[in-house]
Amino acid sequence: MNDATEAEEAAIGKVVHVELTSPQHLYWPEVDVDLEVESVLFPERYPLVSRGHEKGEGYRAAEGKLDGQGRKSK
C-alpha cells in the first residue's frame, strides 16, 4: 500500500464513524463535526455561510432556526 492510499483510508475512517446523539443530531467525533439531521436531508434550507473568528475565540452556533437566506426565522 502506498502513502496516498493509507492517508485516504485514514481520512475515510474518520468520517465513517458517526454517532446519532439524539433523534435529530449527528456527530462525527473524529473530526469534531455535528449537524442536524434536517440539514442533511434538506441541504437547500441551510446555505453555506462562513463566519471567520479570531484565533482563540470559540465558535458558538446561532440560536434558533435559520431561514433559507441564513437569517434567523421568527
pLDDT digits (tens, 9 = 90+) for 52-66: 655 555 555 555 555
As a whole-number percent, the residues of the chain with pLDDT over 70 amount to: 57
CB 49 within 8 A of CB 62: no
Q: Dihedral, CA atoms, 27, 28, 34, 40, nearest 10 degrees? A: -90
Which of the pair, 65 or 18, is modelled with greater confidence? 18
9 DSSP 8-state letter: H
Q: Which of 28-37, 41-50, 64-73 has the lowest mean pLDDT?
A: 64-73
- 73 band by pLDDT with thresholds 50, 70 and 90: low
Average pLDDT over the chain reads 74
